[in-house]
Amino acid sequence: MLDDRKLAVLRAIVEDYVSTNEPVGSKALAERHALGVSPATIRNDMAVLEEQGYITQPHTSAGRVPTDKGYRLFVDRLSTIKPLSAAERRAIETFLNGAYDLDDVVSRTVRLLAQLTRQVAVVQYPSLSRSSVRHVELVPVAERRLLLVLITNTGRVEQRVVETPGAVCEESVSRLRTLLNSCLDGCLLADAPTAVADLPEQVAPDDRQVAATVLSVLLETLVEKHEEKVVFAGTANLANVDFAQSLREVLEALEEQVVLMRLLGEVGDSSSLTVRIGKENPHESLRSTSVVAAGYGVGDRPLARLGVLGPTRMDYPSTMGAVRAVARYVGQVLAGS
């Protein structure tokens, strides 16, 4: 265990290295930070930190830089996450509230995160399986054809064409639409098959064949394996960063949806904030990067995750604050959509 003074020295090294991108020496630490000890004492503390693997010396006679282990301790011991300013919060709220559908929400979110953090932003679309039904619409489009529209609480819209066994009158469509919404309004999609199991028995005999056909298409829609979709933005922010791997390797890894899904991690508590540093990342090509991610949802229910990827030499307090704030606002936008 490190004592408070060595932790203060490590924190100062991380902060200076993040801001200057230059190895940090004991003299500079004594001048820039109120550590209350001499440069000689700071040098002794730095020697202990280096021996225990929290910092390293990149070149002979150079100062020290944090290691992945040092960044991890810095993040774990953060007493505060830097809050956004009132102006930043208003800008986020205004920008996201202007979105008109789920695609627009995701597009705006990923651009906003990239701008706020100056890193690569990554946003996962809400999974259909974690959503609930907001509305079901049935629209006659031909004598024997209906358009089935399923709208979820996240703003996601699924459309299917239903070929009916015979001609369907407007009254039958209206009755079936009303019945479907009474059964499914607010129902989790995972529970929808059970909710509509007895529906054919509730319709008039003349409507049962059409109802069975519509339900068949609806249930197929619910059980389909929807590919998890992830979008990212801000790759230009990596242009001036020196990675242990080549920038090309990092960019190639970002092109893979599976890699992005693994980077964001599992959807857990919607308020959770996770930080993966360097070698903690599962993909070999991203071992010189850090990922800050959070879940977002409607109410207390997590729907998906979003986050940013950048160099291990990132401003963790500000980045963590931005990711957490944006995740919270996205949840609020979806709840009100």
The CATH number, out of the four listed (3.30.390.60, 3.40.50.2300, 3.30.70.260, 3.20.20.220), of the domain defined by the range 129-223: 3.30.390.60
Residue 80, classed as helix, strand or coil, is: coil
The alpha carbon of residue 262 and the mean position of all alpha carbons in its chain are separated, in whole angstroms, by 11
Residues 237, 310 contacting (CB under 8 angstroms): yes
Which run of H or E residues covers position 43? helix 39-51
Order of strands across the sheet that contains 120-124: 230-233, 120-124, 301-311, 289-298, 273-277
First-to-final CA distance of the chain = 49
Angle between helix 257-264 and 247-254 (nearest 10): 90
Q: What pLDDT, on a 0 to 100 scale, did the predictor assign at position 320?
A: 95
Residues 255, 212 contacting (CB under 8 angstroms): no
Token output for 79: 């007493």
Residues 6 or more apart whose CB falls under 8 angstroms from that of 225 comprise: none
**86-127+228-336 topology per CATH:** Beta-Lactamase (3.30.450)
Q: Which residues of 49-64 are buried (b: 16+ CB within 10 A; e: fewer)?
A: beeeebbeeeeeeebb
Taking domain 4-76, whether its CATH number is 1.10.10.10 is answered by yes
Number of other residues whose CB lies within 10 A of the CB of residue 10: 25
Tell me which amino acid residue 304 is.
Answer: A
Alpha carbon separation from 230 to 91, 150, 257, 270 (Å, rounded): 24, 22, 6, 17
Residues 6 or more apart whose CB falls under 8 angstroms from that of 57 comprise: 23, 50, 63, 64, 65
Measure the CA–CA gap between 102 and 125, rounded to whole angstroms.
Answer: 8
DSSP code string of 82-101: PPPPHHHHHHHHHHHHT--S
Measure the CA–CA gap between 17 and 63, rounded to whole angstroms.
Answer: 10
Within a 13 Å sphere around the CA of 266, how many CA atoms are in the beta-carbon half? 2
Residues 304, 267 contacting (CB under 8 angstroms): yes
Alpha carbon separation from 6 to 58, 83, 142, 206 (Å, rounded): 20, 26, 75, 80
Domain ranges of the chain: 4-76, 86-127+228-336, 129-223
Per-residue pLDDT tens digits of the chain, which is 337 residues long: 788 999 999 999 999 999 998 999 999 999 999 888 998 999 999 999 999 999 999 887 778 999 999 999 999 998 778 888 898 889 898 998 888 778 888 999 999 999 999 999 999 988 766 678 889 999 999 888 999 998 888 777 788 899 988 888 888 889 999 999 998 988 888 788 888 888 878 888 888 888 889 988 888 877 654 556 889 999 999 887 776 667 888 888 888 878 888 888 766 554 588 999 999 988 888 888 999 999 988 766 678 899 999 999 999 999 999 999 999 999 888 877 5
Within a 13 Å sphere around the CA of 13, how many CA atoms are in the beta-carbon half? 30
Measure the CA–CA gap between 332 and 216, rounded to whole angstroms.
Answer: 34
